[in-house]
Amino acid sequence: MLRNYLLLAWRVLLRRAFFTAVSLFGIAFTIAMLVLVAAMFDHVLVAGAPEVNQDRTLGLYFAEMEGETMARNGFAGYKLVDTYARNLPGVERVALASAPARLTTYHTGVPEKLYLKRTDDEFWNVMQFHFVEGGPYGRADLERGAFVAVINASTRARLFGADATAVGREFEVDGQRFRVIGVVPDVSFLRVVSFADVWVPHTTAKSDAYRAQLIGDFMGLLLMAPDADPRAIQDEFRSRLARIEFPDPQSFNRISAVPESLLQTVARMLFGARGTDADYGNRLLLALAVATMLFMALPAVNLVNLNISRIMERASEVGVRKAFGASSITLVGQFLIENLVLTLVGSALGVACASLGLWLINRSGVIAYAQLGMNLRVVAWGIAFAVVFGVISGVYPAWRMSRLRPVDALKGVSR
Amino acid sequence: MTTVTIQAGQTHGARGAVADTGGGSRTSASARTSIVALSDVEKVYRTDRIETVALSQISLDVQAGEFVSVMGPSGCGKSTLLNIVGLLDTPSRGRVTINGTPVTDASDRVLARLRNREVGFVFQTFHLVPDLRVIDNVEIPLLYRSMPGSDRRQAARDALERVGLAARMHHFPSQLSGGQQQRVAIARAIVGRPSLLLADEPTGNLDSQMGDEIMGILLDLQQREGTTIVMVTHDQRQADRTERIIRLFDGRLVQ
């Protein structure tokens, strides 16, 4: 039966080439946009090199302090992570990394901007970089404040030439001179936790003032044990925050910060919900689902209309099928399958267009070191979008058609 | 050939007459069972202002193995009667029984199953699906049965052979003549071996030679396989070849 349906669907699509082209364009455009967005989210929020441990990493990204008359928020401070986030139950490793600072180097004779991230040695354990040259700095380098640096491949090319080796060579940035000890592949700008052009030990900072900050420009990365309960970690951290002694309680006497997944933090930022402990991750997923449905609604309504005219042209066939034993539900199934064929073909075009779009984005440099691309997960999202789209645009026309009385359908009466 | 006309409201009037007719291997009246039973059937079409009585007080039986013609002027309700018997339309009043199953209040599923198992339709305008090849058109009734695809294919081939069109099974309907399309329609109607074949002016769109060919196939089905056939026709010549003629006028059975 399925073969018969698919054959018929294919021939019907070929018969009305204009209708088919219009339908396919609408479907392809819709799916291409959704797949592009899905690829972006996949790139940012799904574990991937070097953030391969993202699924079991809680990030202490932001904090907010409040007093009676003042409030302050920003990235977590070094002290907040170093003093209060260590030795949490279920946490295997704690890494510290600053937000990337955009600094200038005159190494090549002209000013060039480099993103520099200051980290501790654990950063290289929590992240999984593949070194193309040399290796990372360790505890000893950190403790003695060694001016060593790991750079990415693009920075190596910019500073030392396309085919040069960099390990052992030196460069100056923001008035500090570093010796290259490792080179890693470029990390996309969208990988906000790991991205930088240059990574150096945080102990090379020009001032020690950052060590006393509860709010500053660091993020703490808490690598959980595989069986750890994130809520237990969050509860313990929260209880520690409640015991913080504030240096100036007149100004600030409360602090809120939650170690949570990147998705939850992104959600918190998008909802403007800093300073609360509520989990916004699920709300973001729900909002994305609603937005996706709304985005699909308009082209779906358009396709519904096209489908109704397409199906009603085939009222006689509906009559024949009913006359020979098709029940209404069987006919709904048949026309849904036909619509799914259409939407899957359109979606294949959409995924192809999205691949092209991602390639163009990568090539344009709009997003530094972007490595947006298709993978099985994104394609699976594309298929899921196509199926949802196919069902919502096919159900009503199919239902309406199936309600036709056979005697009317055979006469070609479609309303 | 015997012409039997049933008065409106009269039931079973033709049964005895059928037994007296000639015609090869027909079953005797005593051995026959009722395939179609209509009792006091009425069909009224209503719009906001107008009420049109299409059928009134129709009661009749069609016995297994009978070949019955339904005749009457245009608009007298012949096709409406056939549609009600074929479960394509519902009566406004009265009872309809198909092969012993009352269908008056049957659900969509039950009606679909009865149409699939008990009834085969041949339409005046063939109603073949233009996008499907001949063999796929013939397979349609079997799609709604649980059976392996290979069996379905074989049954469709057999049905096409039965009507002499096996050589054209991979053609599309538009590549066939009117007579050939009607033979495909007959193959589609008989492929599921229904107990009742309904033909709505099956020769109406064909020239007399092709009409005779189609009529020959229908007669052969009835005489050799005992298929019960109810045929609407305007053609007295073709009706005369059937066992019984039912005449309708203004929605009523008449003498």
Mutate to test the interface with A, among B103, B143, B197 (most CBs of A within 10 A): B143
Q: Are B232 and B68 in contact (CB under 8 A)?
A: no
Region A2-28 average pLDDT? 79
Q: Which two tokens stand for residue B14?
A: 């033709």
Q: Are A200 and A214 in contact (CB under 8 A)?
A: no
Region B175-197 average pLDDT? 92
Region A189-214 average pLDDT? 93
> Token match 């538009």: residue?
B174
Q: Which residues of B touch A3 (CB under 8 A)?
A: 149
Question: Chain B neighbours among A 327-346 (CB < 8 Å)?
Answer: 327-330
Mutate to test the interface with B, among A1, A13, A324, A401 (most CBs of B within 10 A): A324
Residue A386 backbone phi and psi in degrees, to 5: -65, -40
Region A53-67 average pLDDT? 90
Q: What pLDDT, on a 0 to 100 scale, did the predictor assign at position B58? A: 93
How many CA atoms does the CB half-sphere of B69 hold within 13 Å? Answer: 26
Percent share of chain B, pLDDT over 70: 87
Angle, alpha carbons B230-B236-B242 (nearest 5°): 40
pLDDT interval class at B4 (50, 70, 90) = very low
Q: What pLDDT, on a 0 to 100 scale, did the predictor assign at position B255? A: 56
| A4 vs B113, B143, B145: nearest CB | B143
Q: Which residues of B touch A7 (CB under 8 A)?
A: 132, 136
| A324 vs B108, B116, B132: nearest CB | B116
Region B45-61 average pLDDT? 89
DSSP letter, residue B70:
E
Q: Which residues of B touch A317 (CB under 8 A)?
A: 129
For residue B48, pLDDT over 90 is answered with: no
Nearest-neighbour CA in chain A from B185: distance (Å):
11
- Give the burial string for A141-169 (b: 16+ CB within 10 Å, else e): bbeeebbbbbbbbebbbbbbeeeeebbee
Which residues have C-beta within 8 Å of that of residue B123, sequence separation ≥ 6?
A410, B185, B200, B202
Nearest-neighbour CA in chain B from A409: distance (Å):
10
Region B55-80 average pLDDT? 92
Residues shown for chain B: 255
Cβ distance A325 to B141 less than 8 Å, yes or no, reads: yes
Cβ distance A15 to B131 less than 8 Å, yes or no, reads: yes
Region B183-195 average pLDDT? 92
The residues pairing with A260 across neighbouring beta strands, listed in sequence order, are A59
> Token match 């096709």: residue?
B79
Cβ distance B129 to A317 less than 8 Å, yes or no, reads: yes
Q: Are A384 and A42 in contact (CB under 8 A)?
A: no
Q: Which residues of B touch A11 (CB under 8 A)?
A: 131-132
| A325 vs B89, B115, B129: nearest CB | B115
Q: Are B174 and B53 in contact (CB under 8 A)?
A: no
Q: Are A184 and A153 in contact (CB under 8 A)?
A: yes
Round to whole Å and give the CA distance between A100 and A198.
9
Is A325 in CB contact (< 8 Å) with chain B? Answer: yes
For residue B3, pLDDT over 70 is answered with: no
Round to whole Å and give the CA distance between B77 and B83.
10
Region A45-71 average pLDDT? 87
Is A324 in CB contact (< 8 Å) with chain B? Answer: yes
How confident is the model over A130-155, as pLDDT tens digits? 999 999 999 999 999 999 999 999 99
Cβ distance A4 to B136 less than 8 Å, yes or no, reads: yes
Cβ distance A323 to B86 less than 8 Å, yes or no, reads: yes
Region A168-175 average pLDDT? 94
- Angle separating helix axes A328-364 and A281-312, nearest 10 degrees: 120
For residue A8, pLDDT over 60 is answered with: yes
Is A3 in CB contact (< 8 Å) with chain B? Answer: yes
| Helix ranges restricted to H, A313-375 | 315-323, 328-364
Domain at B15-253: CATH code = 3.40.50.300
Cβ neighbours around B121 below 10 Å, total: 28
For residue B56, pLDDT over 90 is answered with: yes
Q: Are B246 and B4 in contact (CB under 8 A)?
A: yes
What are the angstrom distances between the C-alpha of A34 and each of A29, A288, A376?
9, 11, 15
Q: Would you list the DSSP string of A176-220?
A: EEEEEEEEE----TT-TTT--SEEEEGGGSS-SGGGG-SEESEEE
| B108 vs A1, A15, A328: nearest CB | A328
How confident is the model over B10-40, as pLDDT tens digits? 333 333 333 333 333 344 444 568 899 999 9
Residue B142 backbone phi and psi in degrees, to 5: -80, -15
Q: Compute chain B's Rg from CA coordinates.
A: 18
Q: What pLDDT, on a 0 to 100 scale, did the predictor assign at position A113? A: 93
Q: What pLDDT, on a 0 to 100 scale, did the predictor assign at position A308? A: 84
| A325 vs B116, B123, B127: nearest CB | B116
Is A6 in CB contact (< 8 Å) with chain B? Answer: no
Question: Chain B neighbours among A 278-317 (CB < 8 Å)?
Answer: 316-317
Work out the end-to-end distance of chain A between its first and last CA atoms, rounded to an integer number of angstroms: 28
Mutate to test the interface with A, among B47, B98, B109, B129 (most CBs of A within 10 A): B129
Nearest-neighbour CA in chain B from A385: distance (Å):
29
Round to whole Å and give the CA distance between A121 and A221.
12
DSSP letter, residue A175:
T
| A323 vs B109, B113, B121: nearest CB | B121
Cβ distance B115 to A324 less than 8 Å, yes or no, reads: yes
Q: Which residues of B touch A328 (CB under 8 A)?
A: 108, 112
Kindly list the residues of chain B whose beta carbon comes within 8 Å of any beta carbon in chain A. 83, 86-89, 108-109, 112-113, 115-117, 119-121, 123, 127-129, 131-132, 136, 139-141, 143-145, 149, 188, 192
How confident is the model over A355-408, as pLDDT tens digits? 999 999 888 878 888 778 788 888 888 888 888 888 888 888 888 888 888 888
Round to whole Å and give the CA distance between A272 and B154.
67
Q: Which two tokens stand for residue A148?
A: 């060593």
Region A186-203 average pLDDT? 93
Q: Pick from A137, A127, A144, A149: which is nearest to A203 by CA? A: A144
Cβ distance A8 to B132 less than 8 Å, yes or no, reads: yes
What are the angstrom distances between the C-alpha of A223 and each of A59, A214, A256, B1?
9, 21, 20, 95
* ipTM given for this complex: 0.84
Residue in B with minimal Cα distance to A10: B131
Region A68-90 average pLDDT? 91
Strands (E), A61-175: 62-66, 71-76, 91-98, 101-105, 112-119, 133-134, 148-152, 170-173
Peptide bond into B202 cis (omega under 30): no
Percent share of chain A, pLDDT over 90: 41
- Angle separating helix axes A2-15 and A17-45, nearest 10 degrees: 110
What are the angstrom distances between the C-alpha of A87 and each of A58, A80, A129, B10?
14, 13, 25, 97
Region B140-159 average pLDDT? 91
Nearest-neighbour CA in chain A from B75: distance (Å):
15
A to B CB pairs, distance under 8 Å:
77
What's the whole-number average pLDDT of chain A? 88
Q: What pLDDT, on a 0 to 100 scale, did the predictor assign at position B29? A: 43
Q: Are B64 and B195 in contact (CB under 8 A)?
A: yes
Cβ distance A321 to B140 less than 8 Å, yes or no, reads: yes
Q: What pLDDT, on a 0 to 100 scale, did the predictor assign at position B87? A: 92
Q: What pLDDT, on a 0 to 100 scale, did the predictor assign at position A298? A: 83
Cβ distance B88 to A325 less than 8 Å, yes or no, reads: no
What are the angstrom distances between the C-alpha of A176 and each of A106, A149, A171, B75?
11, 11, 8, 101
| B131 vs A11, A327, A329: nearest CB | A11
Q: What pLDDT, on a 0 to 100 scale, did the predictor assign at position B197? A: 94
Containing A36, the helix (H) or strand (E) segment is: helix A17-45
